Amino acid sequence: MKIHWIKTNLSVIQKICLSGLIMALVVILQKVVAINYLAFAPFVRLSLGGPALIIFASVLLGPVYGLFVGIASDLLGYLVFDPRIYPPFLQITAIYALLGFAAYFVFSLVFSIKNRKALTIIEIIVLSIIWVVVAIFTLTRHEMFSSNYEITPLVKALVCSILGAIFVGIILMSVLIKPKDNSVYRSPLHICFASFICDFFILVLFGSLMKACAFGFATFVTIIICQTLVMFFNVFCDTFFISAFQKFTKKYFVEE
């Protein structure tokens, strides 16, 4: 398989201006339009499009600009909203820095895959396995996930049901919706699969490790399960928003 690196026709000035705009939007979505704490699931941040914008910055502007957007948005968000609440955690900044840098390479690799059937099967199998593991953990754990917060079996079942509904939504959106011009850059299937790779390896695995470094490794299992729960929400949002962003910026992408 030959990798076709994503190319755009944006000038340096355009990339710098777009980086600033995206950075400001990420700060708003990550700090204002977001849920930064849940009593039963600590270390969780539900952001409606924050990670999607960082990923899209990397895809549209390149890995260096994506790295800048990831670092600058997290540090700016901290300086504006959080300096009096707690000290800075550079481990958290490292998560978004890696997300902004690596997304370009992940999306270039996935966009180079032409076999939609194989991609669909892999996506369904992997997401199904992760959903089953998380659902079993959620239903069998007595305290979810904070040691100071115990929830009823009904709420646990509700969490699993919501997670299952999001999982079904991810599959339907990525499989049934196809771009009219057949461009892989605007294929929800490819965008969903690439978003999943970014979310799972960077936000879930690397992110949980960095948060454990910041908050203590005794919390690692709790963090990684919480991050996996959020991953389904993020993948759905990433697929929706990045597909929309790609549609509106299609004139800037150079098709191979």
Looking at every residue in the chain, the average pLDDT score rounds to 86
Confidence of residue 178 (pLDDT cuts 50, 70, 90): confident
| Mean pLDDT confidence for 55-82 | 92
Q: How big is the chain by its Cα radius of gyration, in Å? A: 18
pLDDT band at 3 (very low <50, low <70, confident <90, very high): confident
Q: Is 60 exceeded by the pLDDT of residue 148?
A: no
Per-residue pLDDT of 214-255, as tens digits, reads 777 777 877 888 888 889 999 999 999 999 999 889 889 987
Domains defined along the chain, listed by start: 12-252 (1.10.1760.20)
What pLDDT does 212 receive? 83
pLDDT value of residue 151: 64
pLDDT exceeds 80 at position 81 = no
